[in-house]
Structure 1
Amino acid sequence: MQALLSHERLLVVAGVATAVAYVAGDRLITNGSTVAIASTVVLVLAIICASQRVAYHAEQLAHRLGDPYGTMVLTLAAVLVEVVVLAIVMSHETSPTLVRDTIYAAVMLDINGILGLAALMGGIKHGEQAYNDDSGRVYTVMILTAMAISMIMPEFVPADRWHLYSGFTIFIMIMLYAVFLRMQTGPHSYFFSYAYPEKRRPVVKTVPGPDTVWSVGLLITGVVLIGALSEVMAQSLNVSLANVNVPPALPALVVALISASPEMLTALRAALANRMQSVVNIALGASLSTVILTVPLMEALALFTGQPFEMAMTPIQTMMVLITLVITAINLNDGQTNAIEGMTHFALFATFLMLTALGL
């Protein structure tokens, strides 16, 4: 038991934070904005701790199940964390653009932030880093198609027919994901892999991970903790922002940061280990999953409640997405990345942060 607690210390931290938050109760939000802001920061960090362990146990299950089920578990676990946090924050946030802004922020964070920083750091250390350029092309065209259907075309849909287009969007997103999953795990699985030359390494005794039952149980525990922490965090976040002049898209950025946090360290470690294919799969795969799975779930919720979300991106958001995907298509077209290409993406990420800070 002691070994398990030591191994799951991040989950223990999240559990302790949950207990403290619920014992403290309203005192976290009734003692002024300073306490609320501090509480929000601590709660966000606790949620990130729990999401790290959810991602770890999802990866353990994926290794045991193999494809295609392993890929599905990884994807669904990542999206589940985002949907849980997003749905709970939405219950305390009246903004109709929260879903749109969260998906947009997640795409900027995944492609320009994670991919950009990883390619920059990996390029500085290793020079040019190889990957399978087929994966870059497939991911880019899928992301562009999904975002065009779900976040650009809604601008032209009459308001009294939103429910028809929402139903259509759900159907198309499911079809796109089904075909993509079949391609990723079937006859075209080689698109998403790259044969790196193996180096001789000393044999290191590895510690086996938890068995399947433990992984499932701890994964569910992590999701429950994320939900419980998000409930308190959403309340403290609203109080924190009530009397502070902050960008309106900050809640969306917080949700996107929470959902992307497990991928960041994994991608950076892969880049520094000269495994750029893993970085491409993580960054672009996370972006695609965010759009192609979060959108239908949120649209289904809108149809269920009868309250539509504002899904059409603003002109600035649309331009940033198009520029990002054009740069991605150019950079990921030759099978090698370098520091310059990473810097172009990171510059776009900095631009996204600046525009967000300006409230645009």
Structure 2
Amino acid sequence: MTATASSNGRSLVGRFLREEAAFLVALLTFVILHFGLHDTLNKAITPETAQPLVGALFAVWLFAVVLWAAFNVVRHADVLAIKLGEPLGTLILTLAVVGIEVSLISAVMLTGAEAPTMARDTMTAVLMIVLGGLTGASLLIGGFFHGEQDYNLPGARAYLGVLVPLAVFALVLPDFTASTDSPTFTPVQAGFFAIITLVLYGIFLAIQTLRHKSYFEQPMQERAADHEAAPGHSHDHGPQHATSYHAVLLLLTLVTIVLLAELIAMIVDFGIVQAGAPVALGGVIIALVVLTPESMAALAAARANQLQRSVNLLLGSALSTIGLTLPAVVAVSLITGANLQLGLDMAPMVLLLLTLVVCLMTFGGTRTNVLQGAVHIVLFLAYLLLIFSP
């Protein structure tokens, strides 16, 4: 009996090591770089003792590990989507990623670091990456492989109906208030908009998860076609365990990715200074790293002709970024007295508003194609251009 139990225990451990190798390697990488090779990394990216080749090797190592870990996150998210159905499966991934992003921003503000535009720049980068680059790539991939794709129109309208006013409240309105000279809110204004943002986002979550879940599910005809085309689909994501197992491992892997992203940020900042690139580029690169799990899941869903899942991931991520970030950073600012600048400059403001209008047009019908994807990609490229040439 004891021998059998011991054998079963070793078997379970071996199985865990095989299935969660990406998470374990990512965690080990963080421990090694943070506690073992931290001084070596610091010397390599410090101007006085710079070693560009060593820094580049660290960067390649970190990016490779993060990419592998992202595949693991997507695997757990896929299983949760199968077990819980839409929109709960994708909502877990979205809230986990955005929650960690918000925690990072709040942590930096609480340390007393002077970064008045960090929240604004982060929200803008996430919105333009998600609504421009990733939405465009998903529509291009889906259109290329499937011609036209269906999604649930009421769900997309619900996302955009909340996202547009919240984005304007957070990133546009501060430029036009007369109570302050800078693109900021007064404490009363900031508190008011933080509260209504949180309330409106909470109402949306209630609609999404309770009252109108069907708005966020794949259209019936597409689900039937997918089922006929791939009857073994539920087994294509590796071994399946209890829902709690996949939820916990998804969250742990995401936390590890964000911890590694902080190390990547150090290297990226050094590389930007050495190359003389715009400072804002660093925020975009880090946002891309943190968004990697959602990006891969959304692109894979579009390739599998599950556009509604891509919509849930992408529009949900954009909405959650505003809905959670604005209340959090306003609360930190009011408590600590930290300066918080939210209003965008004119050029990025125009581009953000244009992107929101295009999203309303793209998701104004029930089918999408490659042309709409190309338009979103062009908007994202224009955003990148303005970073290098404001």
Which TM class, normalised by the smaller chain length? 0.7 to 0.9
Deviations 1:254-284 (CA, angstroms, capped at 9, x unpaired): 2321232112222222212222222222211
Q: Which amino acid aligns with 2:141?
A: M
CA RMSD of superposed structures (Å) = 2.9
Unaligned runs of 5+ in 1: none
Q: Which amino acid aligns with 2:207?
A: M
Deviation at 1:357, TM superposition (A): 2.4
Confirm or deny: 8 A CA contact 1:29 1:239 kept in the other structure. no
Selected match of 1:29 from 19, 39, 42? 42
2:102 maps to 83
Q: Does 1:351 align with 2:382?
A: yes
Selected match of 1:337 from 365, 368, 372? 368
Q: Does 1:10 align with 2:22?
A: yes
Q: Which amino acid aligns with 1:317?
A: P
Confirm or deny: 8 A CA contact 2:94 2:313 kept in the other structure. no
Q: Which amino acid aligns with 2:200?
A: L
Deviation at 1:46, TM superposition (A): 3.7
Worse-matched range after superposition: 225-234 or 277-286: 225-234
Confirm or deny: 8 A CA contact 1:57 1:219 kept in the other structure. yes
User: Could you tell me how far apart the structure 1 residues matched to 2:77 and 2:112 are?
Assistant: 29
In the TM superposition, what are the counterparts of 1:294-313 in structure 2 within 5 Å?
294-313=325-344
Deviation at 1:227, TM superposition (A): 5.1
Worse-matched range after superposition: 266-275 or 47-56: 47-56
1:156 maps to 176
Selected match of 1:186 from 187, 204, 210? 210
Aligned length in residues: 359
1:43 maps to 62
Confirm or deny: 8 A CA contact 1:88 1:230 kept in the other structure. no
Instruction: Please give the secondary structure, in 2, of the residue aligned with 1:309.
Output: coil
Deviation at 1:45, TM superposition (A): 4.7
Deviations 1:185-218 (CA, angstroms, capped at 9, x unpaired): 2332222222123343575483542335534543
Deviation at 1:94, TM superposition (A): 4.2
Q: 1:239 to 1:347 in 2, by over 3 A?
A: closer
Worse-matched range after superposition: 341-350 or 86-95: 86-95
Deviation at 1:231, TM superposition (A): 4.4
Instruction: Please give the secondary structure, in 2, of the residue aligned with 1:243.
Output: helix
Confirm or deny: 8 A CA contact 2:355 2:376 kept in the other structure. yes
Q: 1:189 to 1:245 in 2, by over 3 A?
A: same
2:7 maps to none
User: Could you tell me how far apart the structure 1 residues matched to 2:314 and 2:230 are?
Assistant: 30
Q: 1:245 to 1:258 in 2, by over 3 A?
A: same
Confirm or deny: 8 A CA contact 2:77 2:90 kept in the other structure. no
1:275 maps to 306
Q: Which amino acid aligns with 2:30?
A: T
Selected match of 1:108 from 96, 109, 128? 128
User: Could you tell me how far apart the structure 2 residues matched to 1:99 and 1:202 are?
Assistant: 43
User: Could you tell me how far apart the structure 2 residues matched to 1:182 and 1:251 are?
Assistant: 35
2:162 maps to 142
Deviations 1:210-266 (CA, angstroms, capped at 9, x unpaired): 335534543453355345434434444443333331112122212321232112222
- Identity within the alignment, %: 31
In the TM superposition, what are the counterparts of 1:144-293 in structure 2 within 5 Å?
144-157=164-177, 158-159=179-180, 162-193=186-217, 194-195=219-220, 196=222, 197-198=224-225, 199-201=227-229, 204=232, 206=235, 208-215=239-246, 217-226=248-257, 228-293=259-324
Q: TM-score, normalised by structure 2?
A: 0.81
Q: 1:217 to 1:339 in 2, by over 3 A?
A: closer
Instruction: Please give the secondary structure, in 2, of the residue aligned with 1:26.
Output: helix
Instruction: Please give the secondary structure, in 2, of the residue aligned with 1:200.
Output: helix
User: Could you tell me how far apart the structure 1 residues matched to 2:185 and 2:355 are?
Assistant: 31
Q: 1:269 to 1:161 in 2, by over 3 A?
A: closer
Confirm or deny: 8 A CA contact 2:143 2:149 kept in the other structure. yes
Confirm or deny: 8 A CA contact 1:68 1:181 kept in the other structure. no
Confirm or deny: 8 A CA contact 1:122 1:271 kept in the other structure. yes
Instruction: Please give the secondary structure, in 1, of the residue aligned with 2:228.
Output: coil
User: Could you tell me how far apart the structure 2 residues matched to 1:182 and 1:138 are?
Assistant: 12
Deviations 1:51-103 (CA, angstroms, capped at 9, x unpaired): 55456546656766678976663332121232244456666974421211111
Deviations 1:329-357 (CA, angstroms, capped at 9, x unpaired): 11211100011111111111111122222
Worse-matched range after superposition: 52-61 or 290-299: 52-61
Deviation at 1:38, TM superposition (A): 4.3
Q: Which amino acid aligns with 1:181?
A: L
Deviation at 1:109, TM superposition (A): 1.1
Deviation at 1:144, TM superposition (A): 0.9
Worse-matched range after superposition: 240-249 or 175-184: 240-249
Q: Which amino acid aligns with 1:128?
A: E
Q: TM-score, normalised by structure 1?
A: 0.87
